[in-house]
Amino acid sequence: MKTAIIFCNGSPIKKSLFLKIKKKYNPLLIAADGGTNYIHKIEEIPEVIIGDLDSINSDVLKFYQRKKIKIIKISRQNDTDLEKALKYCKKLRCNSIYIVGFTGRRFDHTLSNISNALKFAQFFKIVMIENESTLQIITEKNEFKSFKNELVSILCFDPYVKITTKNLKYPLKGESLFFGHRESTSNVSMGNSFEVNVENGFAILIRSTKNFLKYD
């Protein structure tokens, strides 16, 4: 199983959280353009730096050039830097992708990053991690380890996707959770596990980062 973590140029995760992810998954480090600045700050060496390179601090870029790190400049603007990184991970035949630094001050960037991740959900297990909460893209039948009263939220972006759950306080039975129409926010686990079955596409499961790392 080949695993990668992609660093985007948004709000960074805590170094302590990154070290937990690194210890648990031993991922390749992929820097999407300005995400390189954070990797440099925490004194890590990426597998590759990829993007149009307009957001990397010049001293950081020079540092990794001296280190002979692979740098791929792709100037075309049809793809975001995250998409460029995801395409690179596809070439590497990665199985699991963890994305960090995908939120920030601009809602359009955050939503765009989630949209980009959904485009590639058919190729990888994709998890988007921030300091407090974690977003998993899921499909088909899933069983999650949990505990009584854990809060979880489910939503999707396609009206044709149908969700069925088991062992959640507010059950769903082949129902649509189309964004802008209906969501299952702050649903509640009833025990040490719950199930989410997704038909006709992908859904998003959100839970606390602490619980995700504990039970994944």
Measure the CA dihedral 59/62/63/67, to 10°.
170
Q: 142 CB contacts (<8 Å, ≥6 apart)? A: 195, 196, 197, 198, 205
Residues 140 and 116 in one domain: no
Residues 148 and 69 in one domain: no
Q: What is the CATH number of the domain that holds 147?
A: 3.40.50.10240
pLDDT given for residue 104 in this prediction = 85
Mean confidence (pLDDT) of the chain? 95
Tell me the per-residue pLDDT of 112-166, one tens digit each, with 9 for 90 and over: 999 999 999 999 999 999 999 999 999 999 999 999 999 999 999 999 999 999 9
Residues 123 and 192 in one domain: no
Residues 12 and 112 in one domain: yes
Residues 24 and 71 in one domain: yes
Nearest-angstrom CA–CA distance, 141 and 66: 47
Instruction: State the DSSP H helix or E strand holding residue 129, giving kind and residue range, or none if neither.
Output: strand 125-129
Residues 149 and 119 in one domain: no
Which of 72, 100, 131 corresponds to the end of one domain?
131
Q: How confident is the model at residue 75 (pLDDT cuts 50, 70, 90)?
A: confident
Determine the structural domain holding residue 114 and report its residue range.
Answer: 3-131
pLDDT given for residue 135 in this prediction = 98
Residues 68 and 171 in one domain: no
Residues 140 and 127 in one domain: no
Q: How confident is the model at residue 5 (pLDDT cuts 50, 70, 90)?
A: very high
Domain total of the chain:
2
Residues 124 and 178 in one domain: no
Residues 121 and 157 in one domain: no
Q: 152 CB contacts (<8 Å, ≥6 apart)? A: 144, 146, 168, 187, 188, 189, 194, 205, 206, 207
Tell me the per-residue pLDDT of 160-188, one tens digit each, with 9 for 90 and over: 999 999 999 999 999 999 888 898 999 99
Are residues 86 and 56 in contact, defined by beta-carbon separation less than 8 angstroms? no
Which of 131, 161, 187 corresponds to the end of one domain?
131
User: For residue 107, how many other CB atoms are within 10 A of its CB?
Assistant: 9
Which of 83, 105, 131 corresponds to the end of one domain?
131
Residues 27 and 62 in one domain: yes
Are residues 150 and 189 in contact, defined by beta-carbon separation less than 8 angstroms? yes
pLDDT given for residue 178 in this prediction = 87
Tell me the per-residue pLDDT of 76-98, one tens digit each, with 9 for 90 and over: 778 899 999 999 999 999 999 99
Residues 18 and 122 in one domain: yes
Mean pLDDT on 48-59: 95
Residue 121 sits at φ, ψ, to 5 deg, of -65, -20
